[in-house]
Amino acid sequence: MDSTIFNRRTLLGSGALVGIGALLAACGQQANNEAAATSTAAPSETASASAAASDAASATPSPVITRGYSGGSKAPDGEYRKADGYGPAQNVPKPRNEPAQYPENEEGLIHMMEDWVVAHNYGIQTGDCSYAKKYVSEDAEEYKFYEYVEGLYKRGGWVIEGLDSYQKEGNLMYNQESKEYRVRTRRIWSFVLYSEPSGKGSKAMNEDTSDDVFVFVYRYSNGYWQIISSEDV
């Protein structure tokens, strides 16, 4: 199911790629902590033009971008640094290890969502989505998104920006037949860039906020809330 909450997720499978070599050009110089091999430096524009003139059939390969440290250096222990063109975020505060039990009411749901958003944004910044997965069903679109993020980091990529927050815009509604809760919710985000180690990436800007409202579907069992799915409004 394609949900409006995942309008940026849809981009991931669309093949819409942008070159981010300029943004990531210095990454190889910061990568000795993560890779023993060094990547070939990208030629300058002048060198590229000269090579093209001397041998039009010769194609200059794109540099392999190896992630290094955000900010261009290793951050001191405890100093948070957001992701940038040099590498992923550093020293991201960890979420709670396990979901907490909260009451079966609106206040309890809000507390669960606060915990989940911390785990969600931690996964986006680190590639460790194990904490966030505990709050969602394996059938939910969110779970599929976490698997994409984990794969991106495993192959050497990372996410720049891309953090989410959520705002409740409706009452908590309960369906007696399905035993599920629904809440109209707005997802708040501005920009995201999924950086691939190849020097390519997928990016999206939230220029149209009209599709940021959706419905979260929850289930409550044995003291725990869980996100089951998200639905279009």
Residue count of the chain, please give it: 233
| C-alpha–C-alpha distance, residues 190 and 209, integer Å | 9
Convert the pLDDT of each residue in 86-107 to its tens digit: 999 999 999 999 999 999 999 9
Alpha carbon 29 to its chain centroid, in Å, reads 24
Query: Residue 229 CB: number of other CB atoms within 10 A?
Result: 20
Task: Dump the DSSP string for 140-160.
Answer: SHHHHHHHHHHHHHHTT-EEE
pLDDT at 12 over 90: no
Convert the pLDDT of each residue in 155-207 to its tens digit: 999 999 999 999 999 999 999 999 999 999 999 999 999 999 887 888 999 98
Convert the pLDDT of each residue in 133-157 to its tens digit: 999 999 999 999 999 999 999 999 9
